[in-house]
Each structure stands twice: as C-alpha cells, then as structure tokens.
Structure 1
Amino acid sequence: MFHQVHVAGQFAPPTASTPWNAVTYDTNSVPAGSGITVSKYADNTLTVLALAVSGLRAGHTYGAHVHTKPCGNRPADAGPHYQDRKDPHQPSVDPTYANAKNEVWLDFTTNAKGDGAAVSLNHFKFRPGEARSVVIHEHKTETGPHTAGIAGARMACFTLPLSPAN
C-alpha cells in the first residue's frame, strides 16, 4: 500500500492556550514565523522523507530526525528518535542502532536566506503510531562510538502524521 503525506507549518513558541504543530524552543535559531514542509512517500518497503525549511538562522548546519512522539511545551516531549530496529539501551548512542539506515536523518545547512532542505531514503516503513514528529537539532548529527545520533539541543519540533494510527 502507498502512503503519502505533505504537511507545512510555521513555527511559534509553545503556549498553553494555542494548539500548535510547529514549535520553536530557540527563536534565535528557528525564529517565530519561519517555515517547514515535510513530504513523505512510502510503500511497504521504502520510505522517502523530504524536508524544506525557510527563515532559519543563515549559514548554519542543523541536525533533524524523526521522533516517536508529538511536540509539546518542552523539547523532550517528542521522545527519542524513531528507530526501525530499537536499541534496547536508551538514549541510543550505539552506531549499530543510531545510524542513517536505522533512523531518519535529515541534516541540512541553510543558505544566506535561512532556507535549507534534505531528503532521506530508508528501506523500512514506520510502525503504526510510532513516528509522530520531526525535530530540528542544534548541529549536525554525530556518528562516532558513544555519540552516534547526538545532534545537540532540540531547537524546534514539527508534529505530523508520518505513520498511520493503524
């Protein structure tokens, strides 16, 4: 079965009174009003995710990953990275599990206008209800032993339905 998602949003700081799908936790790196679009194309064996952002800090390299929970008031609310094969030890920093083939990594560098883009191709499909957001991190994703998957603080989060509920 083919599954397609295309969702756009504008970042805003989290507030208790306003529902949100795009939250910025650091308005210097991801200013309020900056934009994000995520497109997903998937079948039973392949998932392609495309990320485009606009209006972020210019000339900066960010990490970005799919996370397991929706965004919330706090950066940690989005939970850990989605992993096709789950690392039994969390947080996962083992390169056996924390890698671009087992997770969705969408690292990007913004241009002079603060625009950037990334594409990830993975040979798995998301488990129902377990891929709920894309988190933009402070820096490029690390790959070494004991640091694999680390990309610094969570700057922003975008909630979207990457995996159908069931």
Structure 2
Amino acid sequence: MPDAAVPVGAELASGVGLVLARFGPYRPTATAVTYRPDLVPNRALVAVARASVAGRTGVLLVTEGLVPNRQYGAHVHVRPCGPAPADAGPHYQNRRDPQQPSTDPQYANPENEVWLDFTTDARGRGLTATTVDWVFRDHRPRSVVLHETHTQTEPGSAGMAGARLACVTVWF
C-alpha cells in the first residue's frame, strides 16, 4: 500500500478522480493528515473516489485501520489540508450559505453538501458513499475531513460533527 509520503491521486478521466493514501502527521507534501492519532492512527489507509456523470456526483470513502466499532462524520471541504484542522475551511456547499459557519438546515444538509458519515466494523474498516444531484463547479472542493461524530441535522447545529480528526487533500 502507498506510504503517506507517496499518495496516489489523480483525475483519472473527465469527471472521475481517486486519492489513495496513508494517514500521518502534517508535512507540506502530506495527502492524508491525522490530527488525532488516537482516533485516526498513523498509517491507517484512506481512499476517496469521485465520479460526476449527467449532472450528478458520487463520492466514495473507504478507510482501514481506524478505531473499531466507532462512528465518524465526514464531509467534503473547500480548502486543502494544512497543519491545523481548521485549515480545510468550511464544508463545500452547492448553494453557499452567506452565514459561515453554516448551521442552517436550508444549506447544511446532505442534498447541498457531501456528507459521508460511517461506522467502522470490528476490524476498524469503514465504507460510505453518497450521490448528490449536482457537480462541483468553479469553487471545487480540496479535501475530505473526518470528524468526531455523525453529522447533526437540527437548526443551529446542522452540519456539525464534532472535532476535525483527520483530513485528506483531494484533486476533485
């Protein structure tokens, strides 16, 4: 499997992208960064795939080596990973909420954002996928962030999923 310093990431064809990497500490060349190695261990694997066809976008997230039987939230974010968890910026939104951070269910919802919540199995593997009825545009996303909990949906906390545990820079 690839090392954190040697990620596989590419736009495979028009509308199709893939990132495969191992989590590790932040470095300027890192693709997958863990901010909480107790919950997203160094060397855990992550794969993110995206396909856009006929005005729709599907995103797949696969992990291996995480904490067994644990819930994680995950979302597509607007900026690449950085040394601090907040560097990835807010969630990518098809229709941008003028108020950030967005907690209004009119904007912070799985139809307007890419939500990839998952629960790992007994061996620490996770798998999730979603499809939205739009494609990424000029303000393309740059990362997928793993969060501490599944995503909330209530007004005032919609879109929130706890602390940012890890980040994967993507080439969408």
Gaps of 5+ in 1: none
Question: Which residue does the alignment assign to 1:9?
Answer: 21
- Cα distance in 1 for residues equivalent to 2:136 and 2:60: 15
Equivalent position to 1:38, from 45, 48, 52: 48
Q: Secondary structure at the match of 2:86?
A: helix
Q: 2:57 matched to 1:47? A: yes
Q: Secondary structure at the match of 1:9?
A: strand
Structure 1 length normalisation: TM-score? Answer: 0.93
Question: Which residue does the alignment assign to 2:5?
Answer: none
- Cα distance in 2 for residues equivalent to 1:55 and 1:44: 35
Q: 2:122 matched to 1:112? A: yes
- Cα distance in 2 for residues equivalent to 1:87 and 1:106: 20
Gaps of 5+ in 2: 1-12
Structure 1 position 128, deviation (Å):
2.7
Equivalent position to 1:67, from 51, 71, 77: 77
Kindly, what percent of the aligned residue pairs are identical? 47
Q: 2:147 matched to 1:130? A: no
Size of the aligned set, in residue pairs, is 160
Q: Secondary structure at the match of 2:127?
A: strand
Structure 2 length normalisation: TM-score? Answer: 0.90
Equivalent position to 2:150, from 117, 137, 140: 140
> What whole-Å deviation, never above 9, does each CA across 1:101-145 have from its counterpart, x for those lacking one?
000000000011110110010001111352000000000000001
Question: Which residue does the alignment assign to 2:108?
Answer: 98
- Cα distance in 2 for residues equivalent to 1:66 and 1:22: 14
Q: Secondary structure at the match of 1:101?
A: coil
Contact 1:2 1:43 in 2 (8 A): no
- Cα distance in 2 for residues equivalent to 1:7 and 1:13: 17
Amino acid in the other structure paired with 2:119: T
RMSD of aligned alpha carbons = 1.2
- Cα distance in 1 for residues equivalent to 2:18 and 2:171: 9
Deviating above 2 A after TM superposition, structure 1's stretches of 4 or more consecutive aligned residues are: none
Equivalent position to 1:87, from 79, 97, 115: 97
- Cα distance in 1 for residues equivalent to 2:88 and 2:65: 23
